[in-house]
Amino acid sequence: MTGMPLIRKSETGRPCQACGHPTAAKDPAVFVDGARIHESHTGDPKSGFYRASFKRSR
Ligand SMILES: [Zn+2]
């Protein structure tokens, strides 16, 4: 037995690659072009990620 988890841990709590602040339950991490950013950036036209396709990490 290796004890390796089959399900990846949530990305929540890891730093956002757009603003550098940690992601949190109220503003969870999403992936845009492989970058982990706050979900809120996808709704902000000034962020550069507005309406970008993204995949939820959980
Ligand atoms: Zn951010």
In-domain check, residue 3? no
In-domain check, residue 58? no
Per-residue b or e along 11-34, where b marks 16 or more CB atoms closer than 10 Å to that residue's CB: beeeebbbeeeebeeebbbbbbee
CA of 33 to the centre of ligand 1 (A): 15
> What pLDDT is stored for residue 8 in this prediction?
52
CA of 19 to the centre of ligand 1 (A): 4
Q: Which domain holds residue 22?
A: 10-53
CA of 5 to the centre of ligand 1 (A): 27
The tokens of 51 are what?
């309406």
Of residues 8 and 41, the one with the higher pLDDT is 41
Provide the whole-model pTM.
0.68
What is the number of domains present in the chain? 1
In-domain check, residue 1? no
- Cα separation of 50 and 34, whole Å? 15
- Cα separation of 38 and 20, whole Å? 10
> What pLDDT is stored for residue 34 in this prediction?
83
In-domain check, residue 2? no
CA of 1 to the centre of ligand 1 (A): 38
